[in-house]
Amino acid sequence: MSNTDGMVPLNVALLTVSDTRQYDSDTSGQYLAEQIQSAGHKLVARDIVIDDVYLLRARVSAWIADPEIHAAITTGGTGFTERDSTPEALMPLFDKQIDGFGELFRQLSYDDIGTSTVQSRALGGIANKTVIFCVPGSTGACKTAWEGIIKQQLDSRHRPCNFVTHTSAV
């Protein structure tokens, strides 16, 4: 159901992937939580899990299976260290991958960090009418992803298209 200005608020889940962060030190998660809510969406779940393929899959699978969750954003676990496993954990869950999300994120990120952006494995997908965006764990990367892509793509008023139409919110 849209609000008075035609925006369809989404129920969004937020997951921080980290072996070291707690809620009080999770600046990236806090930034995204604030942005989700200030954009008019409802933050319906927020969690922190260690970088473990099976724990990540279990948490996000539960959100995908919940018809009340329209979108999920993960932060962290997208690099090349031995522990980074977000892409390996979540890609098998996607019905469709959003190839352009990672491509555009790296293009936007290039302006901030130059060629180091090639070490980002940001990705997105859709599963069971839930849109999922996986972004790096730095607060700067979260700002780049939110401001440059996610905010508009979760806004039902964004034209010519957005991902709201692919969720169960409409």
Q: What is the pLDDT of residues 24-36, one digit of tens each?
A: 889 999 999 999 9
E strand or H helix that includes residue 13: strand 11-17
pLDDT of residue 22: 87
CA dihedral over 17, 136, 78, 122, signed as positive or negative: positive
The mean pLDDT value of the chain amounts to: 95
pLDDT for the residue numbered 2: 60
CATH number among 2.40.50.220, 3.40.50.2000, 3.40.50.300, 3.40.980.10, domain 11-166? 3.40.980.10
47, 15 contact by CB (below 8 A): yes
Question: Phi and psi at residue 68, in whole multiples of 5°?
Answer: -85, -10
Rounded Cα distance, 32 and 93, in Å: 23
Average pLDDT, integer, range 132-152: 97
Which pLDDT belongs to residue 1?
58
**CB 10, CB 73: distance < 8 Å:** no
What's the pLDDT tens digit per position in 156-168?
A: 999 999 999 999 9
- Over 80: is that where the pLDDT of 75 sits? yes
Q: Where are the domains of the chain?
A: 11-166
Whether the predicted pLDDT of 135 surpasses 70: yes
pLDDT band at 5 (very low <50, low <70, confident <90, very high): confident
pLDDT number for residue 76: 96
Exposure class string for 93-121: b at 16+ Cβ within 10 A, else e = bbeeebeebbebbbebbeeebeeebeebb
Residue with token string 């969690």: 47
Beta bridge mates, 47: 15
Q: How confident is the model at residue 84 (pLDDT cuts 50, 70, 90)?
A: very high
Which single residue is written with the structure tokens 């954009």?
39
For residue 4, what pLDDT is reported?
56
Residue 38 token pair: 């200030």
pLDDT at position 109 over 80: yes
Tokens linked to 152: 């508009």
Residue 170 — very low, low, confident or very high, per pLDDT cuts 50/70/90?
confident
Sequence-distant (6+) residues with CB within 8 A of 15 are: 46, 47, 48, 49, 56, 59, 60, 72, 73, 74, 75
